[in-house]
Structure 1
Amino acid sequence: MATVHEWTGLEARALRHALRMGVRGFAEHLGVAVNTISNWEKKLAGTRPNGDSQAILDTTLARADAAAHLRFETYLSEASHPSAGAGRRVTIPRPRAWEYEDWTDDLDRAVVALSRQKFHFAEDLLRRWTSLFKPSDLDGRGLYLLARSTALLGDLRRDRGEVLGPLSAVRSYAGARSLFTQLVIPRRVAQLDLSLAVVAEMAGELESAARRYEDLAVDDRLARRDRARARLWVGTALSKDGNHDYAARVMQSAIREFEDLSEPDDWAVAHQKLALACRGAGDLDSALRLIDVARSTGSADSPMQRVRLDTAYGHILLSDPVTLDDGFHVLDSAQKLAAEFGLSHQLRSIEDIRKTSQGAPGLLRP
């Protein structure tokens, strides 16, 4: 049976592989923090667990069955490294099939967590894998999972309003795009181009975003639904830039496309966007009718969509002195929900709407 004189991060990682556990499961099994495991595996032979952890690892290995011991010895032999000294090379075992299965499961869980704006849980699931492997460690399947994980980190950062900077949606999307380009998956590359256009719009680059959307609306790399979304977002960028009439025509075209595709949620979101374009054009009757359609037919299961719907509704109500107080009340509710779930981009939008409305002649709140 295998024994270890002194544990380093390299042996600890080999033991986790041998026990066929993910990082979180291994941490729970040992009774240590997930970050502790991640730190061991990041530094490998360059770190030595403390005395308590040495004992826990000894006990865990001793209790493992014969098959696990064989796997442990195999992984250590594959991770051949000369004795300590300058220039030591470490060959890290590549991910195994069962690790890829765990990774895939965690991606599915992360998608669900993101849909419910459970950002911390989703980030833990994604970083578990993105911090564990470098692209050079991975085959094609692993690169695909890494690209998906990186794209989902972009979605997470976008939804939290982290648009620009070193730890931003732009950086994550660009990294994922590079990986999908390397894998020669044009559809995924085009979807990342669409995501990059979205964050450009969020950053206020409205003209640039509109041009990108227009190109993507006729891009054959994208599925028909994504092309319809690009057409809708052309309208949103134009409307934000003050071109409400043309924006409305573009959005109506997207609505017809979503209806043909039988996509009720996208259809409802398009009515929400069109309502805001009508508000901008001064047609409040149409705006109220359209936002009622969006609120009655769209999915509001997620906090994000509830905030978006209420923000749009409040914005429209604030445009009429008769419904001013109702508008501020709706925005108050949206603001509380956005703060609860850390939706910083929505919070900034709500604050901008408040400032604009409170500063408009005849629309001062009592």
Structure 2
Amino acid sequence: MATVHHWTGLEAKALRLALRLSVRAFAQQLGLAVATVSKWESKLADTEPRPDTQAILDTALGRAGAAVHLRFETLLSEMTSPVQYTGRRRVTASGPRVWEYESWADDLDRVVVALSRQNFAFADSLLTRWLTRFKAPELDDKGLYLLARSTTLLGDLKRYQGTFVGLMTARHAYTSARTVFTQLDVPRRVAQLDLSLAVVAEMSGKLESAARTYETLAVDDRLSPRDRARARLWVGTALSKDGQHDYATRVMNAATRDFEDLAEPDDWSVAHQKLALAHRGAGDLAAAFRFLDIACTAGSAESPMQRVQLTTAQAHILRTDPATRDEGLRLLDDAAQIAAKAGLGHQLRSIEAIRRTCEGAFKPLQQRAGSNE
């Protein structure tokens, strides 16, 4: 078992990392101020805890399990090694170590979960921690891979938030990450970023360009079967937004069959939601309601984005029929409230656009009603 004869900030930091605790959580566990632990982290071997604190650290290490002791010894060995060499570049003590790569990868897993729940503030804090910590010249290939993954997830974050500035930031982040993955020769990631850039183009109103890219990626072997099916579905969404509803439904039907073959129920449900909107655009309300019913029955709406998308689709179709128009407008208000609370800017703008079309369609009815009085 590991023992420490004399604690400095360096050993204290290694213990914190071995315990996999944040600075705040580590301070709470020791019963110390966060500022004290932060001082250790900044000064490392140049600062020494007080004698009573040394005893507290002894106790924390003594109570730790064997796995923590192994990590602690490994971390100390890495942190005290002045220079490491990789096959491509020299990495000094200011660069990342193995334990930091592990923490970085763990945080990226947390970011993926946070984004799926639209917990944007938490995701942003985790990404900022790593994107501001290292520069590309400090990193070996594994570090560059993590940097590119972080940059990609930053693009996802900004894309999901959907503000005009956010879309530009997303495009820049995706382009930067694509350059790194190209340098690392990771073709699957490059193709995924091409897909993400096409989504940003579609969200920015470049429907024809987005549809062409989607069509190319729908048969790109660099992508997984699921990603190729998504690309095919998004061809349909871009075409439908461009008013080409008949062609869009044919493409979407093919994507729906792909999702069924791949046993992807959530994607299958989303495809029916998109088909419902395409049929609504083509004027076939019976088919729109049929596909919408399938989407509502089969799909999950656990995250705010899923709830907004499904509720907006329902509202968009219901408000088309005079008999259900009021219910559609009520659902549109519900979707707007969810989108505003979750910070989903793109969805909120789409809802406002639908509202404006509703108002435009309603005014002539009011005018005709007034002329008959």
Q: 1:363 and 1:135, CA in 2 relative to 1: closer, same or farther beyond 3 A? A: farther
Task: Provide the residue aligned with 2:360 in structure 1.
Answer: 359
SS in 2 for 1:314: helix
**Residue-by-residue CA offset, 1:216-255 (whole Å, 9 max, x unaligned):** 1111111111111101101100110111111111111111
SS in 1 for 2:133: coil
Alignment of 1:52-201 (within 5 A): 64=57, 75=79, 78=82, 91-162=92-163, 164=165, 168-201=169-202
C-alpha displacement of 1:77: 7.2
Q: 1:56 and 1:270, CA in 2 relative to 1: closer, same or farther beyond 3 A? A: farther
C-alpha displacement of 1:29: 3.4
C-alpha displacement of 1:303: 1.0
Task: Provide the residue aligned with 1:309 in structure 2.
Answer: 310
Give the whole-Å Cα distance in 1 for the aligned partners of 2:184 and 2:212: 27
Give the whole-Å Cα distance in 2 for the aligned partners of 1:278 and 1:326: 20
Whether 1:16 and 2:21 are equivalent positions in the alignment is no
Which residue identity lines up with residue 151 of structure 2 in the other structure?
T
SS in 2 for 1:20: helix
C-alpha displacement of 1:348: 0.5
C-alpha displacement of 1:207: 0.8
C-alpha displacement of 1:339: 1.0
C-alpha displacement of 1:108: 1.4
Give the whole-Å Cα distance in 2 for the aligned partners of 1:98 and 1:360: 61
Give the whole-Å Cα distance in 1 for the aligned partners of 2:130 and 2:299: 34
Task: Provide the residue aligned with 1:48 in structure 2.
Answer: none
The gaps in structure 1 that reach 5 residues or longer are 5-11, 46-53, 80-89
Which 10-residue stretch deviates more, 241-250 or 158-167? 158-167
Give the whole-Å Cα distance in 1 for the aligned partners of 2:215 and 2:50: 57
Task: Provide the residue aligned with 2:26 in structure 1.
Answer: 29
C-alpha displacement of 1:59: 8.4
Q: 1:3 and 1:256, CA in 2 relative to 1: closer, same or farther beyond 3 A? A: closer
Q: 1:294 and 1:134, CA in 2 relative to 1: closer, same or farther beyond 3 A? A: same
**Residue-by-residue CA offset, 1:308-344 (whole Å, 9 max, x unaligned):** 0000110011111111100001111111111111111
Alignment RMSD, CA only? Answer: 3.4
Task: Provide the residue aligned with 1:230 in structure 2.
Answer: 231
Which residue identity lines up with residue 203 of structure 2 in the other structure?
M
The gaps in structure 2 that reach 5 residues or longer are 28-32, 62-68, 84-90
SS in 2 for 1:221: coil
Task: Provide the residue aligned with 1:320 in structure 2.
Answer: 321
- Mapped contact 1:61–1:69 kept (Cα < 8 A): no
- TM-score of the aligned structures, taking structure 1 as reference length: 0.81
- TM-score of the aligned structures, taking structure 2 as reference length: 0.79
Which residue identity lines up with residue 170 of structure 1 in the other structure?
R
SS in 2 for 1:218: coil
- Mapped contact 2:277–2:313 kept (Cα < 8 A): yes
SS in 1 for 2:22: helix
**Residue-by-residue CA offset, 1:40-66 (whole Å, 9 max, x unaligned):** 99xx89xxxxxxxx8989987896569
Q: 1:180 and 1:69, CA in 2 relative to 1: closer, same or farther beyond 3 A? A: closer
Task: Provide the residue aligned with 1:216 in structure 2.
Answer: 217
What count of residue pairs does the alignment treat as equivalent? Answer: 337
Which residue identity lines up with residue 153 of structure 1 in the other structure?
L
* Percent identity over paired residues: 57
SS in 2 for 1:200: helix
Greater share of residues in helix = 2
Which residue identity lines up with residue 29 of structure 1 in the other structure?
F
SS in 1 for 2:219: coil
Task: Provide the residue aligned with 2:261 in structure 1.
Answer: 260
